[in-house]
Every structure is written in structure tokens, then in C-alpha cells.
Amino acid sequence: MNQNVNDDEIGTSADSLDLSPRPVSPRQQRKRRPWPAIIVLLLVVATGGIVLTKFLTSAIDYYCNVDEIGAKSGCEAGRRLRIQGVVDEGSIENDGVTTKFTMSFGGESLPVTYDGDPGGIFKECIPVVVHGILTEGVFLGDRVEVKHSNDYKADNPDRVENEALTAEGTACSQ
């Protein structure tokens, strides 16, 4: 090729170059929406909402005393609860797989079935808080918390020094 071609031979020159925008056809004027990105964003938001809802509903355990079951709002059967009471004397039965006992508070008793051995210092006549679900009149516990120090007593005098709890505790001989 001959590189000594001047601008006149090509038919264009720097002065005759048209830089104005070309008219846009209606087909080109329509903007393309980023549908894949929108779909991914909606899926992420929906998944986040579901996870958040599940987390919040499982994180809320209503705190009830045994005598508040069915009497206090939020202390109904079928929902996740934390129930406080005193383990009744002579009520603990452990078959190696489950531990069954009754707990009392305010003159009311509740049978509890716990999958496993609560271990630790769990015994009769002590205040406990059991986490689980009440179904068909039996509380199915999956976690047992035992009052084990005077720090708890000092920090929560309204829970431990309650007259109903003290009355239940004195019924047991330790």
C-alpha cells in the first residue's frame, strides 16, 4: 500500500469530518433493563427476609412461671417458652435417654420431659428454667438452666425470692 496518500484522495479531510450525533431509531432508544441483576437482587432480599424472620422468631422465648401457663399472654401451648419453677421432690426419673420430672411454681405443677441428662448440679428442690415447647400438657425441654450461685440470687431477687418460689422450695427437704 502506498502510505503517501493525501486526504483528498480518500475523500475526507479533517475539516470535513462530521462529528454531530446520528439520529437514534426508536428501537435503539429503548433502554435495556438489567433483568438478571434485578432478579438476583430480589432473590437476595427475599432470602435475607426469610432468614431474618426465622432467626427472630426462634430467638424469642417467652419467659413464664409454671402458674402463668395459659393465664399470661405469650405463655400458650405450641410456642417456644422458658419456664421457671422448682423441681419437685421425688419426681426425677432418668432412663438413660430422657429425664422426666415435674416442676412447680405458685401452686401449679407441670410435667417436663428433657431429652438427655441435664447434668451439672441438677437435682430435686432447686429452681430451674427449662427452655422448650409445651405440647399436650407436657413441656418438652431442650435446655435446662439451674440456679447455682448467690450471684444469681443477688442479681434477680424478684425471681428467686418470690414467695411462691420460696414456698415451693421449703416443701423439699434438702
Assign residue 116 the CATH number of its domain: 2.40.50.140
Q: Which three cell numbers stand for residue 31?
A: 433502554
* C-beta separation of 103 from 88 below 8 A: yes
Question: Does residue 133 sit within a domain?
Answer: yes
Q: Are residues 38 and 106 in the same domain?
A: no
Q: Are residues 53 and 68 in the same domain?
A: no
Q: Are residues 53 and 139 in the same domain?
A: no
Using CA of residue 120, residue 66, residue 125, residue 139, what is the dihedral sign?
Answer: negative
pLDDT tens, position by position, for the chain (174 residues)?
A: 455 555 555 555 556 788 888 777 666 556 677 888 899 999 999 999 998 887 776 666 778 899 998 888 888 888 888 999 999 999 999 888 899 999 999 999 999 999 888 887 888 999 999 999 999 889 999 889 887 655 555 665 665 544 444 444 445 654
Task: Look up the pTM and report it.
Answer: 0.56
